[in-house]
Chains A and B, each alone.
Chain A
Amino acid sequence: MEKHRDRISTPVTALIVIVALVIGIVGGYFVAPTPAGVTTTVTATETRTVTVERSVTTQVTTTAPPTTHERVDITVWTNWPARWDDNAVGRVLRENLGYDYVHVAHEEKDLGDIEELTLLAVQTGMGGPDVAQIEWPHVTAFYKSGGLLDLTDKVMPYKDKFPDFHWNMMTYKGRVYAVFYDLSSCGVMYRTDLFAKYGLKTPDKWDSWDDVVTEGRKLKAQNKSAYMFNVWNDPSIYLAFAQAKGVQVFEESPDGEIKVLLDSPEFIAVAEWLDSLVKEGICFYGDYASYWPPLTDGTMLMDVPFPAWNSWFATTAVPPEMQAMSGKWRVVEFPPFEKGKPTSCIWGGSVLAIPAHTKHPEEAWAYIYACTMSMEYFLRGPELFQEYPANVYLPMLERPELNEPYPYFNGSSPFTPCIKALQYLPQITVTEYYAVMEEQLGLAVNAIIVEGVPIETALKQAADNVRAEIAG
């Protein structure tokens, strides 16, 4: 009997383990949250007066918190440092917006990882964050998945508080699924000390890009290892210059037919212009690792395009070498391509979105509201993270604090030129194939500059690959 018991016990144990495993797997499948179909309720809004630091009193409209007060944990994935968020958005939610029961678990991740993992989450309807930061042109690919929460009812009351350009970029077929987080309209910053050293013109406003190139040639005549500006190997810079020149890369007809214009004569002209500057040595071409050192060792005189995030240069968030350069940089508007015709472009920029299967749509929305539209977050910026946030919400951009001169920027404001740029940002056509186009353009740019492939050939191949993807 004992012998039999021994012989039985092992397979019986094995069976129990297997049954448990199967129950676990099957159970996990059924217990997992179901995708889509999450019903959200629009909460009432209230107007109240708050007094915050710097003795600023302002009228703000905030979303009233729901009545439940059980602890709610929300997960947020962004690429900004977790320590900022612990001190900022979570505190604003709890201390200013009445969401004292909300706890934010912020995970700092690379944007590429966030997009891939969030995509998997919205496809499967499981896991992922409650709020995800996504690069704005890439979010278009998520729209078709149906996996993002429709925020139209939430955001619509604030429609006139966003710049037209950004509102159009946030809207997909009349619906809003994501809210712009950061101002990415470009200005230019340059080193006043180095411009003086090389005897270059240091304008308050460039007349045109031709002037930049002329000064660049003067620089090269004096110092061959110095560069006027840096495009690094970034396709989005090519796209930014194309936008500033009013060149489209997509055209979409009302019936949804998409045309790829990457190999159009206009876009080829943009690429040829940048390529000629790289070949002349006016413009530096390198990888992202090469971005910081030339800004501090005196070999890079300008940083362009200049998005508002560079206002962080004035904080201790940047490397000590950059902090030590206080007073040397100056910020001006993006140079026009034709004299008297101001233009600008956006470079990067991201949105915040909520996967539709989130268990906490209200709290996730409150998070987005807190860090994109709440004046409390804006006004507490210096206290919480040393700087005013560079959002695209017009009531924030109209605040006098943003237009004050900064000692770090030689008496200029890093925000003013970017805010001005909003008036003349050319509209662009963004489709769900934007990320594909960006990837193909990156390969083409590298082939042009590194391998010496003719511009027209490389761009034609890139355009054909995007067309194949659209057709495929």
Chain B
Amino acid sequence: MSRGRSGKRIRDLSKAYPFIYLLPFLILFSLFFAYPMIHSLYISFTRYKIGEFDPTFTLRNYERILGDSLFWNGFTVLLMIGAIQLPITVLMSLALAAITYHGIRGGKIFNIGYFTPTVSSLVVAATIWAAILNPAYGILNHLLRSVGLPPQDWLGRLIQISLMNVINWRWFGWYVVIVFAGMSAIPIDLYESAKIDGSGRIKTFRRITLPLLQPTLMYIIFVSIISVVNLFAEPYIMLGGSTFSSQTARSRLIYTPVMYLYDVAFRYFNFGYSAALSWIVFIIGFLSSFLVLRKSAFMRI
């Protein structure tokens, strides 16, 4: 009798195994992800500044966003960066992945070369680039001068180009690996059939490689959009990070919405408004990536 009850208990417990195994994750997820998200949504509808908290429901923070020139200036910056950077990312990843796929002499060194920035520390990379691009004492202007070209203000008027360069330099190695994986997954039979049918390289690329790579490319575009919308670390460090932050005039040219909401939270100590900004950034990021996914074949695969 006793053994029978014990066996039933064990059988009952076995049904709970999945939940028990999931519990640690669920606890941590709830504590460090779900709760902060829900809480931030809640405080975005309140007035919550340092030393002041008014829990009364209000749309004031969201109304303020509509007229916030800095926030919308940030989105203009993102649109410009996205419009220029996305095609460059896709084309360069495609080209480099194709080179890697077909193989070149010294390919391994080549692979290491473009992938190294991806695994390097972001802080180190951005700091080094800031030093290279320094208009007065950077190596880049030194090189320009040495060949008789005028030095450029890489961290002034041209700071957007400099930023895009840093982002591309750092991330496109990763995209190349993804595209390369996509290319490797295309059955070789298709290429052999095309060859037998007399298809040339360009035609094969256009009719076989590109269509079959579409999900991969859409994934890259999708990830790039999310990265651009969340752009923070690279411009933040290029503008001096928090070092002497209060003593450094930030450039609006690369002042992204996430940098702004960070400042609102940790420099202005206005947590309610910062939460509202972060939700708008989230919604815009979500909608733009959703639209991309809907338009692509990615959803169907």
Contacts and interface: CB of A to CB of B under 8 A. Distances in A.
Interface of A: 4, 7-8, 11, 14-15, 17-18, 21-22, 25, 110-113, 116, 119, 123, 135, 138, 141-146, 233-236, 286-290, 293-294, 348, 433, 435-436, 438-439, 441-443, 445-447, 450-451, 461, 464-465, 468-469, 472
Given A144-B50, A286-B136, A451-B157, A110 B242 contact: yes
A436 B263 CA distance: 9
A290 B249 CA distance: 14
Contacts of A116: 242, 266
Nearest to A447: B252
Contact of A288 (B50, B240, B252): B240
Contact of B50 (A25, A113, A123): A123
Nearest to B67: A468
Given A4-B10, A18-B27, 12 more contacts: A4-B7, A7-B10, A11-B13, A110-B241, A145-B269, A235-B247, A287-B134, A439-B246, A443-B249, A446-B249, A451-B253, A469-B270
B297 interface: no
B248 interface: yes
Contacts of B249: 233-235, 441-443, 445-446
Contact of A141 (B47, B251, B269): B269
B171 to A, nearest CB: 25
A393 to B, nearest CB: 25
Q: What's the dominant secondary structure at chain A's contact region?
A: helix
A450 B156 contact: yes
Given A8-B10, A465-B69, A288 B244 contact: yes
A234 B10 CA distance: 69
A293 B31 CA distance: 49
Contacts of A348: 247
Contact of A289 (B51, B134, B263): B134
Given A234-B248, A442-B248, A450-B251, A113 B23 contact: no
Given A234-B248, A442-B249, A451-B253, A11 B17 contact: yes
Interface string B134-169: 111100000000000000010111010000000000
B64 A468 contact: yes
Interface string B244-272: 11111111110100000001001111100
Interface in B4-59: 6-7, 10, 13-14, 16-17, 20-21, 23-24, 27, 31, 47, 49-52
Contact of A443 (B14, B246, B252): B252
A235 B251 CA distance: 12
Which of A7, A141, A144, A443 has the most B CB atoms < 10 Å from its CB?
A443
A30 to B, nearest CB: 16
A464 B69 CA distance: 10
Classify chain B: how many residues form its interface, as a range.
35 or more
Given A7-B10, A144-B50, A472-B273, A112 B242 contact: yes
B70 interface: yes
A442 B20 contact: no
A441 to B, nearest CB: 8
Nearest to A446: B249
B86 interface: no
Contacts of B24: 14, 17-18, 21
Most chain A CB inside 10 Å of its own CB: which residue of B13, B50, B52, B60: B50
Contacts of B77: none
A469 B268 contact: yes
B151 to A, nearest CB: 11
6 contacts: A11-B17, A144-B52, A145-B269, A289-B134, A436-B268, A447-B252
Given A14-B23, A18-B27, A144-B52, A233 B248 contact: yes
B131 A289 contact: yes
Given A112-B246, A113-B242, A287-B155, A451 B23 contact: no
Contact of B263 (A18, A236, A288, A439): A439
B130 interface: yes
A206 B273 CA distance: 48
B243 A110 contact: yes
A111 B246 contact: yes
A176 B251 CA distance: 36
A294 B7 CA distance: 83
B13 A145 contact: no
Contact of B267 (A289, A435, A441): A435
A293 B248 CA distance: 18
A127 B16 CA distance: 38
**Which of A17, A233, A286 has the most chain B CB atoms closer than 10 A to its own CB?**
A233
B95 to A, nearest CB: 34
A126 to B, nearest CB: 16
Contacts of B253: 450-451
Contacts of B242: 110, 112-113, 116
A113 B244 CA distance: 10
B20 A119 contact: no
A294 B247 CA distance: 19
A236 B248 CA distance: 9
A177 to B, nearest CB: 12
A388 to B, nearest CB: 25
B64 A287 contact: no
B136 A293 contact: yes
B156 A288 contact: no
Interface in B54-87: 60-61, 64, 67-70
